[in-house]
Structures are given as C-alpha cells and as structure tokens.
Copies of this chain bind each other. A is one copy, B any other.
Amino acid sequence: MNQTEKIQSYLQTHQIDAAFITTPDNVFYFTGFKSNPHERLLGVAIFKEAAPFIICPKMEIPDAKAAGWNGEIIGHQDTDNAWDILVQKMNETASNIQSLAVEKSHMTVERLEALEERLSNLQISRIDEKINDLRVIKSEAELVNMRKAAELADYAIEVGCKEIAEGKTEIEILNAIELAVKEKGAAQMSFDTMVLSGPKTASPHGTPGDRKIQKGDFILFDLGVVYNGYCSDITRTVAFGEPSPDKREIYETVRRAEEAAVAAVKPGVTAMALDKTARDIITEAGYGEYFTHRLGHGLGISVHEFPSITGVNDMKLEKGMVFTIEPGIYHPDITGVRIEDDVVVTESGVEVLTKFPKELQIL
C-alpha cells in the first residue's frame, strides 16, 4: 500500500469523504511535486474511493507533471476563484462531500471559511496526526536521500573549517560554504546558514554579520543541505587558536551530553528520556540554566518536523524515525557551544548520519 492508499484506508475507516492536504511539504510527500505557491492555492485532494487530484496554479502544471505525478491536475489562474474550482471538482469527483479532513496546523481560518461557505454542513476533522504518523517513519528510499544530504552537510562544515582565518567575516565564510556546497550540485540549503563567532555564539538564533574572526574565538556553524527534497541539519562549534579552559570545559560538557544522548537512541526509549539524558549531564556540570531549548527535532522533507525531542514528549522511539540531537550551552560571559547530529533509529540502536568529528577542532 503506498502512502496515498494509506490515507484512503484511513478515510474509509473513519467514514470521511475526503482529505484536502495543503502543506507544501505534505503535498510533496504524497505527489512528488515540491512547490512554494506563496499565497496561491496548492493542494492534493484524496478521496475515500475516487482517484486523487492536485490543484495548483495553472502555470505550474508542467512542473507537477515533470515531478512524476500521473494523476489529474486542476489548474487555476489569478483571475479565477480557486476555491470555486476546487469545490466544483471535489463534488464532481465524489458527489456530496459532507466530511473533510484537513491539516488544522496549516489550514488558515480564512481557508476553512472558504470551504465551509461552499460546502454546507461540512464536518471538519484533523488529518495532521495521521500524516505525521506516516512521515515520521522514513522508508529506505527516503533514508538514501537523507544520508546524501548529511554527507553534503559534513562537507559544508569541512569547507567552513578550512575557510576560517584571522580577520575574515562571518558572512565571507558563510558565502564560501554555500558556494562550495552548490558546486557539489546541491540546489538549496535547508535554512539560512549560520556562522557565528566569539560572543555571538551565545545567541542560539543569532544572525551572521560583519564580525571579524579573532584568535581565541569559538566559531559555531549551523547549516543543512537539501538533497532530492530531504533536509540535513548539522551544528559544529570549533576553536580558532587554543581555547581558554572555561571555553573548553563548556565544549566538553556539551560533547558528553550529545554523545550520551546519541548512545541512548533505540526503539522503545522515550523522547523525554533522551532529552533528560543530555540535560542531566549539563545540569550536573552547573550549566543547566544555559541550555535553553529542547534537545532536538524531527527531520525529513521539513527541517523541523515530528518527532519533537523535548522534556515533555513521552512518545516512544520507533525504527525509521529521524531527528536531530543538539544540546547547547549559551553562556553570555564565556561562549556558546552547540553540537548537533542527525540520527536514525534502527532495529537495535542508532545510525548517525552526520559524521564530522566531535573532538574539539582547534584551527
């Protein structure tokens, strides 16, 4: 049963007439067609029995076909009312739609109102969790892409390390990394590449700028590469010149926490237990208050997806889940350090996709 058939089977079990899926990453998951439609309507309609169709801007129809979609594609133009076209086609495909599953975490109130205006007495339910349940377990074909995306991320860190030199700016290093990765054929980074140096490492969401690298700095790289629609996400923190003992202590604490959490990954362990494994080490070392975010996040078509590796998530890990492990300490007076790997839960333990060394690199 393919993934679309699994949704059909879900609709049959729950007696729901159709699902209308609009999150671009979910549309890609079910159709192979990746598009950013901005405010325009893009979606895939899946029915209890009838064949699914894509609705998209008319000018993107060739791209949807080129992406390998063999089903029907309904186009709309800027002068059309896309919702009229959608509802008419849905009613033609499965007469009298009375219940519809949507992604409540993505569908806007405005869009729901547009559907409700055109489909009277419509019963709305959530499809979010069902899609997450499918996406959270990666197939071998997906893992092939993710391994390649991680390999490109490792390469990007390698380039970043080679580029570090006294007086170079964060942005200069960032540009060199992205250029090198794109020359390897990667079309896109997973998110805005982060290169932070010196005191700026203490901001978990800082912005690279014109700060020049100085001897004694820690430099934090956080980046990812998209390969065939799948994301990687890696963080390494390296030293430019011999680090002070207090910086080294923070580095080694994060490293111990990260390695312990990675080693604890296997089916049956909860997300919260993983978070606790890393957090306890950091707290016992006296830095608990400076680890201000969750341990990690799911990774795949989206750079942030399920599962969320937090201290309050009691979900048990299963074979095929992929997520980041990325503890950090952000000490405003000393330095920030974060180390992040992408891991897959295997039958018996863990496969680590990102392989760049974690021993402190002194450049």
Interfacial residues, chain A to chain B (CB-CB below 8 A): 35, 38-39, 57-60, 62-63, 77-79, 102, 104-110, 112-113, 124, 126, 128, 171-172, 174-175, 178-179, 182-183, 185, 187-188, 192, 203-210, 292-294, 304, 308, 310-312, 330
Please determine whether A179 and B182 come into contact, CB atoms closer than 8 angstroms: no
Please determine whether A108 and B110 come into contact, CB atoms closer than 8 angstroms: no
Please determine whether B102 and A310 come into contact, CB atoms closer than 8 angstroms: no
| Residues of chain B lying within 8 A (CB to CB) of residue A62 | 203
Which 7 residue pairs are nearest across A and B when measured between Cβ atoms?
A78-B294, A104-B110, A104-B109, A59-B292, A105-B110, A59-B204, A38-B304
Please determine whether A205 and B59 come into contact, CB atoms closer than 8 angstroms: yes
Smallest CB gap from A81: residue in B: B312
CB distance from A324 to the nearest CB of B (A): 13
| Residues of chain B lying within 8 A (CB to CB) of residue A292 | 58-59, 77
Smallest CB gap from A309: residue in B: B78
| Residues of chain B lying within 8 A (CB to CB) of residue A57 | 205, 293
Q: Could you say which of B108, B172, B183, B192 contacts A106, with CB atoms under 8 Å apart?
A: B108
* Selected A-B contacts with CB under 8 Å, 9 pairs: A35-B205, A38-B304, A59-B293, A78-B293, A79-B310, A79-B312, A110-B126, A172-B183, A174-B182
Smallest CB gap from A303: residue in B: B38
A77-B171 contact given A35-B205, A63-B203, CB 8 Å threshold: no
Q: Could you say which of B104, B188, B208, B308 contacts A78, with CB atoms under 8 Å apart?
A: B308
Smallest CB gap from A207: residue in B: B187
CB distance from A100 to the nearest CB of B (A): 12
Please determine whether B113 and A108 come into contact, CB atoms closer than 8 angstroms: no
Smallest CB gap from A191: residue in B: B36
Smallest CB gap from A78: residue in B: B294
Q: Could you say which of B39, B63, B124 contacts A205, with CB atoms under 8 Å apart?
A: B63
| Residues of chain B lying within 8 A (CB to CB) of residue A209 | 187
| Residues of chain B lying within 8 A (CB to CB) of residue A38 | 304
| Residues of chain B lying within 8 A (CB to CB) of residue A179 | 175, 179
From A35, A208, A293, name the one whose CB has the most chain B CB atoms within 10 angstroms. Answer: A293
| Residues of chain B lying within 8 A (CB to CB) of residue A207 | 187
CB distance from A361 to the nearest CB of B (A): 25
CB distance from A43 to the nearest CB of B (A): 15
Please determine whether A175 and B185 come into contact, CB atoms closer than 8 angstroms: no
Please determine whether B182 and A175 come into contact, CB atoms closer than 8 angstroms: yes
Please determine whether A210 and B192 come into contact, CB atoms closer than 8 angstroms: no
Q: Could you say which of B59, B78, B330 contacts A330, with CB atoms under 8 Å apart?
A: B59
